[in-house]
Structures are given as structure tokens and as C-alpha cells.
Structure 1
Amino acid sequence: MRKVLTLVIISIIFFSCGKTEGVVPSVPVNFRASKTDPRLAALNSAGGAVTISGYGVAGLIIYRQADGSYSAYDRCSSYQPEKLCAVTIDDTGFTVTDPCSGSKFSLADGSPVKAPATRSLRPYTVNVSNFEIFVSN
């Protein structure tokens, strides 16, 4: 009986330990810039997107939606994020591509639009005042 109880306890411990493999790590993000910052020039029109290095896991992507609102994502691909592959903005301006796997993601909502990725890009919160853009989590 003691062996069975020990086996049950070990099984519960083994199967209850969740792995966070395959998840883009959560790191503190606090980006702030003036809307007139030259790095953000592409955001002056709907559909514009920019990349910002030095924030998040692999940098940031900020995208201006058709309705004038903004979205921000971590550049780290959600497919095998341990490889730290930074997605790049496609010529169309509507998607980004993971150069390591070929996965594509929509800039509208960060969702995968081409396999093998099945998870969305990690989103961040964007707040805009009259003169500044704030990206945080």
C-alpha cells in the first residue's frame, strides 16, 4: 500500500508541474516617445508600422490601425520563442514575418495568419495623449 501511495504522490507532482515552454516571456515594458519623434514618422498615417529596439523581449512593433488607434506587440515570435526570433514588417504593411520559421502574423490583432505559429504575438497596452505615445504592460 505504501508503494502505491508513493507512486500516486509522485505522479501528481510530476503531472502538476506546468511548463512555460513555448510562451514569450513577460518582461516589463515602459516605452514613451513624442509623436513627433522621427522613429515614429510611419505612424502618421493609418497602416503605418514601426519597430523599436531595446524594449520587450525582442523589441516592439507599434502599428496604427485604420481607425487611428494604435496596437503594440513584442517582436519576439510566438513560435519557438526560446529562439528569440524578431519578426520583421512585411512590404504590405499588414503582416510581420518570423524569419526563423516563416510564420506570419497580422498587425491588426497579432494573430497568426501563416503556419507553423498557432499563438498570437504578445500584445502591449498603448496610450496616446496629444503629444506622446506610451507603450506598457
Structure 2
Amino acid sequence: MAKGRLFLFFIGCLSLTGCKKGGCNVVDYIPFQETISLVEFNELRLLMQPVALGAEHGGVAGLIVMQVSEGQYVAFDRCSTVNPEKRCAVELEGEGPVAVDPCSGAKFILTNGSPSAVAECPLRPYYVRRNGDILIVSN
């Protein structure tokens, strides 16, 4: 019985150390609320067309915003979760909904922010609300 408990304790410890830094909230929390005009960023009206915005629009290293289905938007911080202290901003790759960290080569799927190569932790997500021709992005 003691071996079983020891095994469960060991498995529990491993699960707590799954991501670097002791968890996946590795990107700094910086409170913000940003309004984004769909008139100014008309490409956000198209499905699966991500738009990368600089740090002046919020987040740690800027934002990536994309419409994933009719009227449903996602937003992520551009700060890579690989060595987040470097604040390396992920960049859009080609035409698809994929972002690449130019510092580490990590790749992220922009429909949900999950890592697809190198990284262990997803991009930090933000809330998106639409009000007419305005998107309100916040944390």
C-alpha cells in the first residue's frame, strides 16, 4: 500500500512541474483594456485572418486578434511563453492562423493559442467583446 501512495505522490509532483516556471501563467499580467476599430482593421471582419498589433495596443508584447467564427473573436498576447522574460513578440506565419516566436522557433496555433512546436505553454489569452464596429480586448 505504501508503494502505491508513493507512486501517486510522484505522479502528482510530475504533473505540477509540467511547464517551465512552475505553471503556464508565465507571461506577466499587465492590466489593460483596448478598443479596436473594425473600420480601421477591416481584415478582422474576415474569418481566420489574424492581425498582429504592437505593444501600444496592450498586453506585454502586443496583441494578436482573429475572428474564429461568425462574430466570435480570440485575442492573445504576442509575448512568447518560451523565455517570456525576453518579451519576444510572436509573428504571423504565412497565410494561416499560426504564429512563430522568432527568438526560439516555437509555433502557436491561433485558434486557441496552443503550442504546436518547441513551447510547452499556450499564449496568454484575453477577453474579446464586440460592440458594433468596435472590439474591446481586455484581461
Scaled by the length of structure 2, the TM-score of the pair is 0.77
Describe the shift of the 1:44–1:29 C-alpha distance in structure 2 as closer, same or farther (beyond 3 A). Answer: same
Query: Are 1:27 and 1:56, in contact at CA under 8 Å, matched by a contact in 2?
Result: yes
User: Aligned partners of 1:84, 1:20: CA distance in 2, in Å?
Assistant: 18
Structure 1, unmatched stretches of 5+, are 1-18
User: Aligned partners of 1:20, 1:83: CA distance in 2, in Å?
Assistant: 18
Structure 2, unmatched stretches of 5+, are 1-20
Deviation per CA, 1:32-66: give whole Å up to 9, x if none.
022211xx222121011111211110001001103
User: Aligned partners of 2:71, 2:133: CA distance in 1, in Å?
Assistant: 15
Are residue 126 (structure 1) and residue 128 (structure 2) matched? yes
User: Aligned partners of 1:47, 1:21: CA distance in 2, in Å?
Assistant: 29
SS in 2 for 1:33: strand
Aligned to 1:51: 52
Equivalent residues in 2 for 1:1-137 (5 A)? 23-37=26-40, 40-53=41-54, 54=56, 55-115=58-118, 117-137=119-139
Share of identical aligned residues, percent? 41
SS in 1 for 2:43: helix
Alpha-carbon RMSD: 1.7
User: Aligned partners of 2:36, 2:45: CA distance in 1, in Å?
Assistant: 14
Q: Shift of the alpha carbon at 1:92? A: 3.0
Deviation per CA, 1:87-132: give whole Å up to 9, x if none.
00110321100000000000000000111x1000000000001121
Scaled by the length of structure 1, the TM-score of the pair is 0.78
SS in 2 for 1:113: strand
SS in 2 for 1:65: strand
Task: Find runs of 4+ consecutive structure 1 residues off by over 4 angstroms.
Answer: 19-22
